[in-house]
Structure 1
Amino acid sequence: MTRRDYITRAGWQKLADELDYLWREKRPHVTRELSAAAAEGDRSENAEYIYRKKELREIDRRVRYLGRRIDELTVVDSAPDDPSVVFFGAWVAVIDDTDARHRYRIVGADETDAAAGAISLNSPVARALLGKRVGDIVTVSLPQNEREFEIEAIHYTPPHD
């Protein structure tokens, strides 16, 4: 059985937009700059040439990675049959054992963003929340300790604050 790597439609689009930008705009610009630097003469002591060559290698590496990665991902862009249960793509509002409120969105590893509350499907918190409903209390084993969360709300469209 192969492991599937899931991503939301918005996450996939962000990766595809980055690939398009790198390929159509950034790489041609850096290539022009590299050619101009090369025309200046001795390349071994030309800092601009050395910098642009390194920059081009980094762009090419990222383009290759994104090209492969986009093909490997499975886009999930529909709500589940039972939206009262936490599945991939859900926004989940929880209250922790100190009465602090948190909102998480369960997303693929390629689109995690801790500051925005986007957590990986494979994270301990997400694994504990999957399959649960409003009112359920889950215990999450973290490296430092265990935490309890009570699920307050589940949304499959961005919740309004």
Structure 2
Amino acid sequence: MRKGFTRRPKVEEPAANHGKNYITPSGLQRLKDERHFLLTKERPAVVEVVAWAASNGDRSENADYQYGKRRLRQIDGRIRFLTKRIDAAEVVDPEAPRTGQRATRAFFGATVRYANAAGAERVASIVGTDEIDLDRNHISWASPLGRALMRASEGDEVVLRAPGGTETLIVLEVRYDRISVKPFREPPGSEVSTKGLQR
């Protein structure tokens, strides 16, 4: 049977594609800063290198031209991705005043202190899929732990269903504080130097 007649199995959408892109204000700012950097610095620098390399003649064996074009496609793809994520952003400020159950239950933006069956305590902040930072204990609301903690309040027992097995956790505290997301930093050496290209 030819490949054109085979049917591909349907792939489940990743957790990041639940429609809305829930994100904290600082997480949204990081996405905007990265897009701004790509549009105003990185892309123009690469375009200049590609134009210089194209002026050198034979493009089929011109490594600068081929690498530059490939890098340009990567940058454009990242800009499209960031634009979609920014357009779909649903900003939730963890510091916004909350009343009733919204103040005592874990929802997006909550910082939750919990303990496992052995009594080991941990703290996790529930953030968006673009803000995950395990070094800072920022977990996605769509992760197994995030889903287990959602809607829980102090004293609740929740069941964590993870690939490694099932575990019961006890929620010790739910609070809403500022969640500091690591800001976007320009990567060192990211800009392509255009000095000396004109000969």
- TM-score > 0.5 by shorter chain: yes
- Structure with the larger helix share: 1
How far 1:3 moved relative to its partner?
4.2
Secondary structure of 1:43's aligned partner: coil
Residue 67 (structure 2) aligns with: 51
Between the two proteins, the alignment pairs up a number of residues equal to 158
**Pairing 1:80–2:98 present:** yes
Q: Residue type matched to 1:102 in 2?
A: R
SS at match of 2:171: strand
Using the TM superposition, give the Cα deviation of residue 79 of structure 1 relative to its aligned residue in structure 2, in angstroms.
4.6
Q: What residue in structure 1 maps to residue 153 of structure 2?
A: 133
Q: Deviations over 1:64-100 (max 9, x none)?
A: 1211221111111135324222111011111112322
2:43 to 23, 27, 32: 27
Query: Once superposed, what is the RMSD of the aligned Cα atoms?
Result: 1.9
Asked if 1:94 corresponds to 2:114, the answer is yes
Q: Spell out, residue by residue over 1:21-48, the C-alpha distance to the aligned partner (whole angstroms, 9 max, x if none).
A: 1101110111111122222221111111
Displacement after TM superposition at 1:101 (Å): 2.1
The amino acid that maps onto 1:21 is: F
Q: Which structure 2 segments of 5+ residues have no match?
A: 1-17, 180-199
Task: Name the CA distance, whole Å, in 2 between partners of 1:12 and 1:95.
Answer: 31
Task: Look up the equivalent residue of 1:118 and give its one-letter code.
Answer: H
* Letter paired with 1:80: R
Structure 1 gaps of 5+ residues are: none
Shift in Å, 1:127:
1.6
- Return the match for 1:150 from 162, 165, 170: 170
* Structure 2 Cα separation of the partners of residues 47 and 97 of structure 1: 58
Structure 1 residues 15-24 or 62-71, which shifts more? Answer: 62-71
Task: Name whichever structure is richer in strand by fraction.
Answer: 1
Bigger Rg, which one: 2
Question: Which of 62, 83, 93 is the equivalent residue of 1:67?
Answer: 83
Matches of 1:79 and 1:3, distance apart in 2: 25
Summarize the Cα distance change of 1:120–1:79 in structure 2 as closer, same or farther, 3 Å threshold. farther
TM-score normalised to structure 1 length: 0.88
Partner of 1:4: 20
- Shift of the 79–110 alpha-carbon distance from structure 1 to 2, 3 Å rule, reads farther
Mean Cα displacement is larger for which, 30-39 or 110-119? Answer: 110-119
Identity %, equivalent residues: 39
